Structure 1
Amino acid sequence: MGIVIPVDGPAGSGKSTMAKGIADHFGWDYLETGALYRAVGLRVLDRRGDLGDPALAARCARELRFECRKTPDGWRNFLDGRDVTQALREERVSDAASRVSAFPPVRQALLAFQRSYQDRAGAVVDGRDIGTVVFPEARLKFFLDADIEVRILRRFRELREKGIPFDADALAEDIRARDRRDRERVAAPLLPASDAVRVDTSRRSIDQVLALMLDRIRQEYGEVIEAP
């Protein structure tokens, strides 16, 4: 088993930004598991299926051909060889992902793919249950969080910068509803692992959080990694 760094947290906590930063710094692989669930949600939407149908969602998950790949334009997500990075950020897809991810058969179908990253020399995997379910044996785990209002404002800024239209009130309520679903679902609820390093990103800059996490990784794995 190679080095796997789980990074968990709710929407807008900065987990994907930090996970990519760590992967880039050490030259490791990266997987955004939220994109996996969004890809399942996108598949259901494309088929005009019922987001409340666990059998359909599980079938879409089992048939998924997904890849997170580093390109000259940064980390991009591919579904069936097609770049779907932008499509996966649409609010309708994010909402669909939150719904289908609550189904245990969907989570089970995607588990083996996620765990395959332990065979890489080094990997950073972000999501909501990576440290508790996917890689509970990982030596070092992170759980990022931030005040809900801070996370909502970050999401506003992200969509505005990408030119994606949104309704501010609806988006804020969607994030709150997603938080409730993620924390209250029976299958793999959003919770920090008991041994996770918890980081509040509310009032820290990206550089400050990344530096903190890189230092902690060096402390834990200094004997086997060589930082650039």
Structure 2
Amino acid sequence: MTDTLVIAIDGPSGSGKSSVSKAVARHFNLEYLDTGAMYRALTWYCLNEKVDVEDATALVTAARTFPYVQGTSPDEEVIEVGGVDVREAIREPRISEAVSSVASNLEVRQILIDLQRRFIAEAKNGMVAEGRDITTVVAPDADARVLLTANEEVRLARRGLQLGGTQNKDQLVHQVSERDKKDSKTTSFTEAAPGVTLVDSSDLNFEETIDAVIAAVNTALGR
């Protein structure tokens, strides 16, 4: 772990953790790490290379070798696999449908957790890292740890807006609720662990949610 400021933010799908985490990173002048993008990028790589996502051994081999580049600026997203810009591709429904098979592989998770820890340790300005197991597994000794959540109805609506209205309700339920249910078998992101501050944004707008998370961080820092 680094001596610089580390903020860990977890949350379920559609909780707004990515956009909020970027804003929090800007506020504290920190770097930003979207760990979920790693799992999505690996899923894209596996599908692109015709790797069977149900083949545990093949997934581990892919995770050890996939040529991944990720930026850490909250203002400029860089996500590349083998030199290919996959920022938009990893958000496609086919990736959402397959990513849990990749993310539930424990050996794959450990490979990516090690990579995430390296990103955090090498962050010159400190880091806001967000995902599903950052507060409990990746960075349990972070300076501030927050679980950002919202009720299911709100999360479905937010994800629908994020996808530009391209998905119907059944597709959104599959991508949000069903994925959360499957992923919760390998990591806990529905309840705040001891020492983790819960921020429920169900009744908050975007700016209010940012303010609530910043307040939670400042409290954790004793400010």
Quote the residue 1:198 is aligned against.
198
Q: Does the residue aligned with 2:71 lie in a helix, a strand or coil?
A: strand
* Pair 1:189–1:220, CA change in 2 (3 A): closer
Shift in alpha-carbon separation, 1:47–1:147, aligned structure 2, 3 A: same
**What CA distance in whole angstroms lies between the structure 2 residues aligned with 1:109 and 1:156?**
31
**Counterpart for residue 129 of structure 1:** 133
TM-score, normalised to structure 2, is: 0.89
1:197-218 CA-partner distances (Å, limit 9, x unpaired): 1011111011011112223323
Deviation at 1:97, TM superposition (A): 1.6
Question: Which residue does 1:169 correspond to in 2?
Answer: 170
Q: Which residue of 1 aligns with 2:65?
A: 63
Give the share of equivalent positions with the same residue, in percent. 34
1:147 aligns with 2:146: no
Check the 8 A contact 2:96/2:175 in 1, yes or no: no
Match of 2:112 among 110, 113, 135: 110
Conserved 8 A contact 1:32-1:126? yes
Query: Normalising by the residue count of structure 1, what TM-score does the alignment of the two structures yield?
Result: 0.87
Report the CA distance shift for 1:76/1:119 in structure 2 as closer, same or farther (over 3 A). Answer: closer
Q: Deviations over 1:60-98 (max 9, x none)?
A: 2112323134386x3332223332111111111122222
Residue of structure 2 in register with 1:226 after alignment: none
More displaced stretch, 137-146 vs 187-196: 187-196
Shift of 1:139: 2.8
Paired residue total: 217
| Alignment match, 1:9 | 11
| Conservation of the 8 A alpha-carbon contact between 1:19 and 1:126 | yes
**For residues 76 and 21 of structure 1, what CA distance do their matches in structure 2 show?**
17
Match of 1:181, as an amino acid?
Answer: K
Instruction: Give the conservation status (yes or no) of the 8 Å contact 1:41–1:96.
Output: yes
Instruction: In structure 2, give the amino acid aligned to 1:160.
Output: G
Distance 1:24 1:189, change over 3 A: same
**Distance (Å, rounded) in 1 between the aligned partners of 2:7 and 2:74:** 21
CA distance in 1: counterparts of 2:64 and 2:194, whole angstroms: 30
Q: Do the aligned residues in 2 keep the contact of 1:152 with 1:172 (CA within 8 Å)?
A: yes
Residue number in structure 2 paired with 1:47: 49
CA change 1:81–1:23 in 2 (3 A) is farther
RMSD value, Cα:
2.0
Gaps of 5+ in 1: 224-228
In the alignment, which of 96, 99, 120 is matched to residue 98 of structure 2? Answer: 96
Letter in 1 for 2:65: E
Offset of residue 37 of structure 1: 0.3
Contact 2:32–2:74 (Cα < 8 Å) also in 1: no
CA contact (8 A) 1:15 1:144 kept: yes
Q: Residues of 1 paired with 2:63 and 2:15: CA distance?
A: 26
